[in-house]
Amino acid sequence: MVPINNIPVDPSDWTQVFSACLGQSIAVQTACGELVVKNSRWNIDLSRGIITFGKTDYPLQFIGSESNVSHTWMWGWNNINGFREDILQFPQQLLELGRQWKLRPLTLKEFDLNDTYNGHTLSLAAIALSDRPFCYYRCVHGSGAVFVAFSGLPQRVFEPVGLEKFASITAQCIGQFYLDHRIFVKSFLNWNKTPFEETPTLITAHFPQTLYIQLECVENNHRIVQINTDPSAVQVN
């Protein structure tokens, strides 16, 4: 087991790793969209290693690319395009982590796109696993898209979220992705610096207003039943 946001997960299990990464990454991506990207025009210059939103440049790392022709994903460390090595440091770190953890999606240079493995899901996990404050952006071109991580962002992008946004992101994520909900919630709360207690069926998160997250176990996977601020709605088993 390895800790992600102080939650132990099986590092070779994609669902557990992705579950532990997702909450913080969606929070950061949402804030980045609101504070940095906004409705700005973007431009990418891989030869200079920058992405531009409006008039502001940000240093980038080339995560990987999606092809609309072959319907595949290819990691940036499989550098068939001869990109400069300094923008491939991050994907190289992901490759080494994948080998260390025996986490196969990080070590296959190219594979078919699907709902589980695609540029968005892989990039969401990647930025959370980095030791640097990254966001990512999908840069669309004629035959697919390249995904880049970029840094130099204002600290506000990485600040904790309030109860309403936490609950909204949680509902969005559990509705969109296959997750271990307990790992997801606990990791998200730890990243958010929100204290909590847990029982087998309940996580109680201490925002200024208490948030109750009811769970059930289905086929050895924990699923959220309800999220509520009303203690009278909590089912006590």
Please tell me whether residues 144 and 106 are part of one structural domain: yes
Domain boundary among 129, 158, 187: 158
pLDDT digits (tens, 9 = 90+) for 69-91: 999 999 999 977 788 899 999 99
Strand residue runs (E) in 84-195: 110-112, 135-141, 144-150
Indicate if the pLDDT at residue 20 is higher than 90: yes
51: DSSP letter: E
Does residue 211 sit in the same domain as residue 129? no
Residues 110 and 65 in one domain: yes
Residues 39 and 43: their CA atoms lie apart, in Å, by 13
Question: Angle at Cα 66 formed by Cα 142 and Cα 176, nearest 5°?
Answer: 115
Residue 68: left (phi > 0), alpha (psi -120 to 50), or beta? alpha
What are 37's two structure tokens? 């990207």
Share of the chain above pLDDT 90, in %: 91
Q: Residue 164 has what pLDDT?
A: 97
Query: What are the pLDDT digits (tens) for 153-206?
Result: 999 999 999 999 999 999 999 999 999 999 999 999 999 999 999 999 999 999
What single DSSP character describes residue 136? E
Tokens of 191: 């990243």
Distance between CA 57 and CA 94 in Å, rounded?
Answer: 24
Expressed as residue numbers, the domain containing 64 is 2-158
Q: Count of domains in the chain?
A: 2
